[in-house]
Amino acid sequence: MALVQEGTVSHVWPLGTTVDERGVLQLGGCDALELAREFGTPAYIVVEDDLRTRARAFLDAFERHAADYEVHVASKSFPSSPVLRVLAEEGLACDVAGGGELAIALRAGFEPGRIHLHGNAKTERELREALHAGIGDIVIDNFDEIDALERLIPHGSHQRVLIRVAPGVSPDTHPKISTGGPNTKFGFSTHDAPEAIRRLQASDRFDLDGLHMHIGSQILDIAPFRPALEAMARLGEFRTWNLGGGLGVAYTSEQSAPSIEDYVKNKVSLVEELIGPGHRVADEPGRALVAHCCVTLYTVQSVKRNVATWVAVDGGMSDNLRPMLYGARYEAHVVGRPGGGTVCHLAGKHCESGDVLVHDADLADPRPGDVIATPVTGAYGHSMANNYNGGLRPPIVFVKDGDAREVVRRETYDDLLVRDA
Ligand code: LLP
């Protein structure tokens, strides 16, 4: 797939991406080759306007369709305070999956009352931190958590909570990121939920605000939200219905995904139809908010030929684990040569044969020193980055209107040693 087709770049690239007359990718008005030179590679380049536009797309769609709503960014998708700060400025609320993400969300500037805490194994420390910070909701996952909170919430005060329910519905996605089926580690089964509801309503420690479901991630067919909400609707009458995010995105130019508008409209109308009017509809998108804003830049280190052609870059499974974990498909381009022509495997630098970023990539005459760009790396890229082989996690660089600023620096060797006693 060539980078430029019919004079324009495909929908997988951040909004506003262009290719100049030399064929060089321009991200947020910045030249990708200059970005690679200035900040080094691998680097996560985040187009700030893309991030803001998608946040507004969610908020505008909810504003159009729902009278009462809340949109939480699932911070696990890009848990970096500069990124989350942009989303807080745009008016989103925040979902955190533990104490670490809570600390990041607070640093990013979210009001504590607009943060909620998830987790199927919240520790006592995390629950204490959440209570201490005064967060909006704790999303209760299991009976042991109810016991723990009954001990921790001081007499005379109470905490607003949601109950996470697994509705017993599995969408069409990778099994590792399907979460709402009958045999999941997340939430209460529909069988146990009534008992959880009864206990929370009977206790003066809790203010039960509603139910929560998250059936999975990278959902491209939104039909399963209906049977899932039907199962939830049988559990009673509540103010808030949190439908848990999950909207998938196109990772390659051949793929397409439902629009944010269609996805939001569908979820809001399902609540109105199956639960009734006058409810708060909440959602927690991660991927669809942050995936497209980011392009990872690499530099080719070697090219070799055996049965296939292998093009190896200076990153890999340490900055993008998704191909390795889920067989996720990406596309890649040589910056400055927007065509294709050489079918090859774009390999990472790590000591495992599985460390391949793109199988059968179509690159234009790749050579050592070339800068490679892979789009759609914002969601769960930085998030699952690691130090395998002593790799240094990449910087995050914001680009906007032709200016670039490093908001998270590259790790150093000292960072690898700093925790040693
Ligand atoms: N809410 C809850 C409770 C979640 O567990 C998740 C994602 C979300 C919201 C956001 O879902 P999204 O809108 O991003 O689909 N590492 C995997 C994705 C794991 C998703 C885990 N939960 C990947 O790279 O595909």
The CATH 2.40.37.10 portion of the chain extends over 4-47+291-417
Q: Is there an atom of ligand 1 within 6 Å of 118 CB?
A: yes
For residue range 386-407, list pLDDT tens digits in order.
999 999 999 999 999 999 999 9
* Residue located nearest, by CA, to atom 19 of ligand 1: 177
User: What HEC string does the chain produce?
Assistant: CCCEECCEECCCCCCCCEECCCCCEEECCEEHHHHHHHHCCCEEEEEHHHHHHHHHHHHHHHHHHCCCEEEEEEHHHCCCHHHHHHHHHCCCEEEECCHHHHHHHHHHCCCHHHEEECCCCCCHHHHHHHHHHCCCEEEECCHHHHHHHHHHCCCCCCEEEEEEEECCCCCCCCHHHECCCCCCCCCEECCCHHHHHHHHHHCCCEEEEEEECCCECCECCCCCHHHHHHHHHCCCCCCEEECCCCECCCCCCCCCCCCHHHHHHHHHHHHHHHCCCCCEEEECCCHHHHCCCEEEEEEEEEEEECCCEEEEECCCCCCCCHHHHHCCCCCCEECCECCCCEEEEEECCCCCCCCEEEEEEEECCCCCCCEEEEECCCCCCHHHCCCHHHCCCCCEEEEECCEEEEEECCCCHHHHHCCCC
- Ligand 1 test: best mutation among 54, 217, 251, most atoms within 8 Å of CB? 217
Distance from residue 97's CA to the centre of ligand 1 (Å): 10
Is residue 72 lining ligand 1, measured as CB closer than 6 Å?
no
Using one digit for the tens of pLDDT, what is the confidence trace for 75-126?
Answer: 999 999 999 999 999 999 999 999 999 999 999 999 999 999 999 999 999 9
Q: Whose CA is nearest to atom 16 of ligand 1?
A: 380
Q: State in Å: Cα 6 to ligand 1 middle.
A: 34
CATH no., domain 49-290: 3.20.20.10
State the pLDDT confidence band at 323, using cuts at 50, 70 and 90: very high
Class of domain 4-47+291-417: mainly beta
Q: Write the pLDDT tens digit of every residue in 180-223.
A: 888 899 999 999 999 999 999 999 999 999 999 999 999 999 99
Convert the pLDDT of each residue in 28-59 to its tens digit: 999 999 999 999 999 999 999 999 999 999 99
- Position 68 pLDDT exceeds 90: yes
pTM: 0.97
Q: State the chain's mean pLDDT as an integer.
A: 97
Ligand 1 closest atom vs CA 72:
9
Give residue 1's pLDDT.
66
User: Looking at the annotation, which residues are catalytic?
Assistant: 351
Is the beta carbon of 244 within 6 A of some atom in ligand 1? Answer: yes
Confidence of residue 176 (pLDDT cuts 50, 70, 90): confident
Mutate to test the pocket of ligand 1, among 54, 75, 76 (most ligand atoms within 8 A of CB): 76
Question: Which tens digit of pLDDT belongs to each residue from 239-261?
Answer: 999 999 999 999 999 999 999 99
- Start-end ranges of CATH 3.20.20.10 in the chain? 49-290
Instruction: Compute the distance from residue 286 Cα to the ligand 1 centre, in Å.
Output: 6
**Cβ(287) – ligand 1 distance below 6 Å:** yes
Centre of ligand 1 to C-alpha 246, Å, is 6
